[in-house]
Structure 1
Amino acid sequence: MKNHFFWICLILLIGVSSCKSLQEKGNDQFLSGQYQYAINSFSQILADDPENKEANQVIAESYRLSNRIEDAAPYYQKLVEADPTFDSYYRLGLSLKAQDKNEEALEAFEKAKGYTQDETYLAETQRQLEAIKLTKGIKDYWPYHELVNYKELNTSGPDYAPVVSEDFIYFTSGRQASGLYPADGSPYTKIFRARAEGLRVDVTGAQPLPEFKNEEGLNQAAIAVSPDGNTIIYARGNSTSDKDLPETALFVSYFRGGGFTQPIWMPVNEDETWWNSTPAFSADGSELYFASNRPGGYGGVDLYKATKLANGDFGSPVNVGPNINTPGNELFPRPMADGKFFFSSDGHPGYGKLDLFVAEKDASGAQVIKNLGENFNSTNDDFALFFTEYPKAGFISSNRDGGLGDDDIYFFEDKTPKPKIINVLLNVFTKQRVAGADDAVLEQARVVLYDENSKQAGGDFSNTTGRVRFTLTPDADFTIIASKSGYFSKSIPYTTKGKTPDISTLIQDVTNITLDTTIVLDQLVLDRSIVLENIYYDLDKAEIRADAAVELSKLVQILKDNPAIKIELSSHTDSRSGDAYNQNLSQRRAQSAVDYIVSQGIAADRLVAKGYGESQLIVANATTEEEHQINRRTEFKVIEIKE
């Protein structure tokens, strides 16, 4: 029995000693930034003790600090159950949000508010709540852009941040890695290059950067090439050597004497302990944008801008401001020549972790931030936008579900469907009015088409069948003018509105719609009277009635269409009442008609008012009201044609 007790104690002692050493080892790994190793160590402890608070704490924080907060949710959940705090609930909310579990994230953020009185923490938590609500209203910035995983270029490790310069694509990749990055267990990255033409990449020719040698045992990533191709800037860091720089920094290489110089540390880094990465040049190369966690910003990582000096170096970096930067992280800037500024952020309303955004001016000139939408963004990290043909084609990087492994390179293209085309083919037939017979074909009439801005849109002479054909646009207004020597010119309005099918119902790319219209011209003969129909006056009155004004407006149009003619406008009465009275009444009526026409913009010297009373009866000895109506008429005749 004693021997059994001895061995039991010994086994327990060894187990405790082993557990303690594993815990100490895990803490050392965590404190030195070897987060993946710390996760592995504390996972062994949780296997035997699932409620171990320290183990859950370290694993949760290791996932968060190595940009894998979506994996931290079950460990934060353990912490809030055992000992709820603001930090645990807030970070649980972030983890759930990264998994697109928005309702659960809202609940966690609301609970977090109950564990603090700090106004800064409360404000940040409220910002997260509002951001989740705003996500529901996000619209696709480019609805028809389609994203495709570039499987031929990607590997099972990290591949990301491509840029294209002078027929080459440069990108970051974990292929040919010499070791693992202890923070997240992924392969160390190098910069690679391959031939490229737009989106087409010679994937079989991808090779390590030839301009200068990639270093072993650290990460080299996120390259930027100046517009002239003579400057390369990239991020370098995460070395395991105590003799190396303590933090990721920007390095630069210049083209000199037929080759690129050995990369050197850039002054814009300012401090070796500050993290600086994701560089990008402005379109003209005069400015350098990058991300940094230096003090004085608005959150974890902010975007900065440095302007090139006369000596070729870049000056002191300036924060791009709180409209773009948030309490979260902003990275991978991409400024465009048109003033639009693309970037990635987990601080603006989005779908999960890093999303792609654009800052642009609205109609009032104010800068607004827009999420690019679901066809670009996912619940995972989406970043490193680069255009090969702005804004129709380019690349992004993402570690979204469905990829080949870690970060993958995706290409996108504008797949906006070709617009369906409707051609309206209008046949205009010109005819001449023939007394007592059907209208006859009038050939060689000049027909001119004008658009709604009075700009000529076509013109031709009618053929032997009297036809002229025009191609019109749908849903538009036009004016057609027909003229021929010896005839009154005539203009008519024409519209294609409501005369074409709904474009959404069309199947063919091009649909032709044929329409017809006819213009009838009257012969222009001096001193031949033409009766104006429906010109009525109230009994014994000369004022122009509304219905008469409509008919007189037609004469106004004839005068506008035929600016070379001068007319006599005459009024006739029936034989009832005395001669003198009828003569006076007809003259007043004729003058009223002329005055109305002048009020519509026709020159007074083109008009003569003449009252004939009952001196020119058409039906002598009229007895019926119908016969009197024929005698009561208003006429016009051309009395002069100016050359």
Structure 2
Amino acid sequence: MKNCFLSSLFIFLFLVGCTSLQQKGENQFAAGEYQLAIGTFSKVLTDNPDDSDANYFVAESYRLSNRIEDALPYYDKLLEEEGSFENYMKKAKSLHDQGEYEEAAAAYQQAKEHTTSDSLLALADMGAENMAKIEEITDYWPYHELQNYELLNTSGIDYAPVVSEDFLYFTSSRRASGMYPATGQGYTKLFRARANGVKVDVQNVQPLPEFQNEENLNQGAITISPDGNTIIYARGNSLSKKDLPEVNLFISYFRGAGFTDPIWMPVNEDETYWNSTPAFSIDGEELYFASNRPGGYGGIDLYKATKLANGDFGNAKNLGPEINTPGNEMFPRPMGEQLYFASDGHPGFGKLDLFVAEAKDGNTNITNLGKNINSISDDFGIFFTNFPKEGFLTSNREGGVGDDDIYYFQDNTPKPKVVNVFLNVNTLQKTAQGETVLPSARVALYDSTKQTVGGDFSNEQGRLRFKLEPNADFTLIASKNGYFTKSIPYSTVGKTPAQEDLIQDVTNVTLDTTIVLDKLELEKAIVLENIYYDLDKADIRPDAAVELDKLVKILQDNPEIKIELSSHTDSRASDEYNRDLSQRRAQSAVDYIISQGIAEDRLVAKGYGEDQPVIENAQTEEEHQRNRRTEFKVIEIEE
């Protein structure tokens, strides 16, 4: 009888103890003390691993304290008892955050079997589609490299770096005076250290000097206006019932000798809304931030508020469904036409990834920054010290120093191998003996935009050298008193090795070209070769137009000359007929040249018929052909 009473008493005390432990854990969970709740319910699960309430609260505590990857075994326990859409969706998110993308996609499909709601089915489909899109993600900056700032980070929390006036400001749990019961980490405060770009004076980190860090609550992400006179930061998570119930934005202004005490911002709208991760626009006229206020598209959305006349910010507007998702978007970083932000709702590797939103062709394109920036862990809080080549971000990826760590990134794009192109130019002249050296000729070099990029005189050997850009187009113009000026195109396109074929850091390529100048003499006839007309016709044929274009070029290069263009026939028709035909042909040629932009007063058409044969008494067809010719001669040179 006594033994039975003792057994009954033990069972009663055990049940009372379990009930008390359960209630304690639920109270901790309701208060947001998730780390404490995990510890309490873990004791319940030690005695009863199948306790559904304990498994639920541990899973949710991990999820709500941003450790959903640790919640998977507890969701599995719940699903063993009863499948539900909500728990399958949370299981899928947990698998996603561990990089198990195929298993996550399968869990999303299983979730669909437990609902008939169109909106919930669409949510599961979006999750599965995001898993399929992960393979398509490429690196936005292929040569950016990320490094943990080990000397700056601690074993606790370090995150949300921003730079202002040669100081790095950031949030950290170092020197914490209490523990935040939701995460088991110390409360966070604001710190700063001198910085030059991404080089930080890690030996002299100091608490924020502008105003006092508060104890037993979290000071969160900070932003500083471009002029350095306004500080906005997130503050919350106090356990005091007299304090605000949620994380809100506070603002401090520089007034004369120092900064004012921070005050609650009206842009929060309601003290029960979560508002955090603020960032100024480049001009300081807009404030971007994250909020869970009603009317959004998911858990946390991004908003933008405009600066009011009194210096405050208001008229907050949701950034819309192109940027915001059913998941969470936070840590905005506006950079002119681009907005960088963190999200777990767009296709990503797991948890928060960094993205960029860009307006193109009337649409907003969202791009994941890629695996050289993002990981399966949280990646967020990007800040540029030299946009877009250098800056900081935060990550809690594996291999860090503590929990959230500060990383720096730099653009390590390999320097292209150098190709030097040298063009050797030879200047020659036409003489009775052929082509001979023409010294002291002026050669000017122009690029494709007609800008002068070089010029010099040829030496006594008629040589000079230019250094040219590879894969570019140029024009060379050679001139000398007493000679026709001549311009010729020159291109280095295709004349140098491709970058991938280069072996040495510097490769020199030498090319050659020759410019031959004709003497400029008054009344000296110059035959235009290959100017042909159809029998008894004066129309300019296409092949003749090609040759006349060369004369057009001479006239363009030598704007100071006027010419006579003459046409000659052979003697196998009457004098009158030949003279009329040659005049019509000469005029036809002149008309063509005028049509190409040459002024009419620079041209004279003259038909000589058969009066000026090259060969008197021509007999053969070859001799007649030499007499049938088109010539030009310079008849005037303007000074």
TM over 0.5: yes
- State the match for 1:223 in structure 2: 222
2:229 and 2:577 map into 1 onto residues whose CA distance is: 100
Structure 1 residues 386-535: aligned runs within 5 Å = 386-435=383-432, 437-535=433-531
In the alignment, residue 151 of structure 1 is paired with which amino acid? E
In the alignment, residue 350 of structure 1 is paired with which amino acid? G
State the secondary structure of the residue aligned to 1:552: helix
Moved more, 378-387 or 341-350: 341-350
Q: CA deviation at 1:508?
A: 4.5
- State the match for 1:285 in structure 2: 284
State the secondary structure of the residue aligned to 1:64: helix
Q: Deviations over 1:327-369 (max 9, x none)?
A: 2222222233x2432222222222211122233322x354433
Q: CA deviation at 1:316?
A: 5.4
In the alignment, residue 275 of structure 1 is paired with which amino acid? W
State the secondary structure of the residue aligned to 2:413: coil
State the secondary structure of the residue aligned to 2:171: strand
- State the match for 1:641 in structure 2: 637
In the alignment, residue 504 of structure 1 is paired with which amino acid? E
In the alignment, residue 350 of structure 2 is paired with which amino acid? G
Q: Deviations over 1:23-62 (max 9, x none)?
A: 3332232222221222223333334433332222222111
1:635 and 1:478 map into 2 onto residues whose CA distance is: 31
Q: CA deviation at 1:502?
A: 0.8
1:134 and 1:414 map into 2 onto residues whose CA distance is: 26
Q: Deviations over 1:71-124 (max 9, x none)?
A: 212222222232001101111111112222221111111221221122332232
In the alignment, residue 186 of structure 1 is paired with which amino acid? Q
Q: Deviations over 1:170-189 (max 9, x none)?
A: 21112222332221222222
Q: CA deviation at 1:412?
A: 1.4
Q: Does 1:382 align with 2:375?
A: no
- State the match for 2:251 in structure 1: 252
Unaligned runs of 5+ in 2: none
Q: CA deviation at 1:279?
A: 2.3
Q: CA deviation at 1:12?
A: 5.5
State the secondary structure of the residue aligned to 2:187: coil
- State the match for 2:76 in structure 1: 77
Residues 525 and 49 (structure 1 numbering): CA distance in 2 closer, same or farther, change over 3 Å? same
Q: Deviations over 1:176-205 (max 9, x none)?
A: 223322212222222222222221212121
Q: Deviations over 1:560-592 (max 9, x none)?
A: 222333333333344445555544444444344
Report the number of matched residues: 639
Moved more, 500-509 or 170-179: 500-509
1:89 and 1:619 map into 2 onto residues whose CA distance is: 103
1:262 and 1:301 map into 2 onto residues whose CA distance is: 28
Q: Deviations over 1:367-423 (max 9, x none)?
A: 433322222221111111222223322211111112112000011122233344433
Moved more, 298-307 or 146-155: 298-307
Q: CA deviation at 1:280?
A: 2.4
- State the match for 1:122 in structure 2: 121
In the alignment, residue 548 of structure 2 is paired with which amino acid? L
- State the match for 2:339 in structure 1: 341
Moved more, 325-334 or 241-250: 241-250
| RMSD (CA atoms) | 2.8
Moved more, 262-271 or 51-60: 262-271
1:578 and 1:79 map into 2 onto residues whose CA distance is: 114
Q: CA deviation at 1:613?
A: 3.9
With normalisation by structure 2, the TM-score equals 0.92
2:632 and 2:194 map into 1 onto residues whose CA distance is: 82
1:275 and 1:622 map into 2 onto residues whose CA distance is: 105
Residues 587 and 284 (structure 1 numbering): CA distance in 2 closer, same or farther, change over 3 Å? closer
Which residue of 543, 552, 566 maps to 1:570? 566
Q: Deviations over 1:195-232 (max 9, x none)?
A: 22221212121133333333332222212233333333
Moved more, 327-336 or 613-622: 613-622
With normalisation by structure 1, the TM-score equals 0.91
Q: Does 1:198 align with 2:236?
A: no
Residues 441 and 287 (structure 1 numbering): CA distance in 2 closer, same or farther, change over 3 Å? same
1:575 and 1:285 map into 2 onto residues whose CA distance is: 88
Q: Does 1:168 align with 2:167?
A: yes
Residues 542 and 107 (structure 1 numbering): CA distance in 2 closer, same or farther, change over 3 Å? same
Q: CA deviation at 1:283?
A: 3.1
In the alignment, residue 373 of structure 1 is paired with which amino acid? G
Which residue of 597, 601, 618 maps to 1:601? 597
Q: Deviations over 1:525-549 (max 9, x none)?
A: 2222222222333444444333333
Q: CA deviation at 1:554?
A: 1.8
Moved more, 206-215 or 67-76: 206-215
Unaligned runs of 5+ in 1: none
Q: Does 1:353 align with 2:346?
A: no
1:75 and 1:466 map into 2 onto residues whose CA distance is: 88
Q: Deviations over 1:103-148 (max 9, x none)?
A: 1111111221221122332232233233333333333333322211
2:551 and 2:612 map into 1 onto residues whose CA distance is: 22
2:248 and 2:23 map into 1 onto residues whose CA distance is: 31
In the alignment, residue 481 of structure 1 is paired with which amino acid? I
Which residue of 522, 533, 537 maps to 2:533? 537
In the alignment, residue 612 of structure 2 is paired with which amino acid? Q
Q: CA deviation at 1:150?
A: 0.3
State the secondary structure of the residue aligned to 2:126: helix
1:592 and 1:541 map into 2 onto residues whose CA distance is: 10
1:524 and 1:284 map into 2 onto residues whose CA distance is: 63
Moved more, 176-185 or 78-87: 176-185
Q: CA deviation at 1:434?
A: 0.9
